[in-house]
Structure 1
Amino acid sequence: MSIRHVDGPDLTAADVYAIWKIRDIVFAVEQQCDEPDVDDLDLLATTTHLWFADDDGPTSYLRVLTDADGARRIGRVATRVDSRRRGLSGQLVAEVTRLWGDGVLRLNAQAYLEGWYGRFGYHRSGENFVEASIDHVPMQRPAGGFIA
């Protein structure tokens, strides 16, 4: 199974539908997030989407945004229930490190995943905050830092 990399403007309508479907199932249905998922960032030229897929669509997904200072920011990490515990999200995070790890990488982790992201060289960079009714912690990985 290979990782798909697609920049925002290159997404097809089918890609967008599949991405929004996995994110809707994970964030709206499972986690009952109270904020909209569609945020006008998916189609930007500075956004890259990475995912694994099978015949039923994406099995594990994340997107990478580019912050104003040029740092990359991981977000919207989602894995289907039937594909969890296979290391797919970890492979996607490692791919982000391979592609952009020579620069600063950031993310806002759900607080219970702070240790998991720590395995990839991310460290807490601020105080916890609530986003979409879920406790989060800002994290950062320094340029050229530890590679998983």
Structure 2
Amino acid sequence: MTDVDDDLHVRSGDELTAAEVYDIWRIRDVVFAVEQQCDEPDVDGIDLLPTCHHLWFADADGPTSYLRTFTAESGVRKVGRVATRQDQRGRGLSSRLLRAVLERWGDAEVRLGAQAYLHDWYAGFGFERCGENFWEAGIEHVPMRRLPRA
């Protein structure tokens, strides 16, 4: 399904085309592997599941900003892999993506592991710390959750 909220794209994992998978993995590779030098594999078996949804904005060069959200085995919705191309940063694209997730799935608890320096940014969307910091992919993270909206 593609939304008509400007240029917002929303697809479940089982709806992605091969070209979309390539573009998604390309932006994540550049941001996480090259820029942030993450030391863990990105491909984790979740992306193509029907319970995984990919949200992104794009231009002629591919995705400009991206995130994925999925329902974990515990039944809790998770957000992760938030990535914005370097030439598109500072335009509020990630904020728009996160708001789109909360508009669609905010009736339930949403969890994420925020890179520690982004704690306050996520707190601005109603997320709060829910545990001790941890290391993932060589980067310090903070577990956060947003309780269901009233």
Query: Within 1, Cα distance between the matches of 2:31 and 2:133?
Result: 22
Q: Please say if 1:70 is aligned against 2:72.
A: no
Q: Gaps spanning 5+ residues in structure 1: where? A: none
Q: In the alignment, which of 19, 27, 30 is matched to residue 32 of structure 2? A: 27
TM-score by length of 2: 0.95
Please list the CA deviations of residues 105-133 of structure 1 after superposition, one character each: whole Å capped at 9, or x if unmatched.
01000000000000000000000000000
Q: Decide which moves more: 8-17 or 69-78.
A: 69-78
Alignment of 1:29-68 (within 5 A): 29-68=34-73
2:143 matched residue in structure 1: 138
Q: Gaps spanning 5+ residues in structure 2: where? A: 1-5
How many residues are aligned here? 145
Q: In the alignment, which of 11, 16, 24 is matched to residue 21 of structure 2? A: 16
TM-score by length of 1: 0.96
Q: 1:62: how far off?
A: 0.2
Query: Within 2, Cα distance between the matches of 1:141 and 1:85?
Result: 24
Q: 1:39: how far off?
A: 0.7
2:134 matched residue in structure 1: 129
Identity of aligned residues (%): 61
Query: Within 1, Cα distance between the matches of 2:146 and 2:124?
Result: 11
Alpha-carbon RMSD across the aligned residues, in angstroms, is 0.8
Q: 1:2: how far off?
A: 1.8
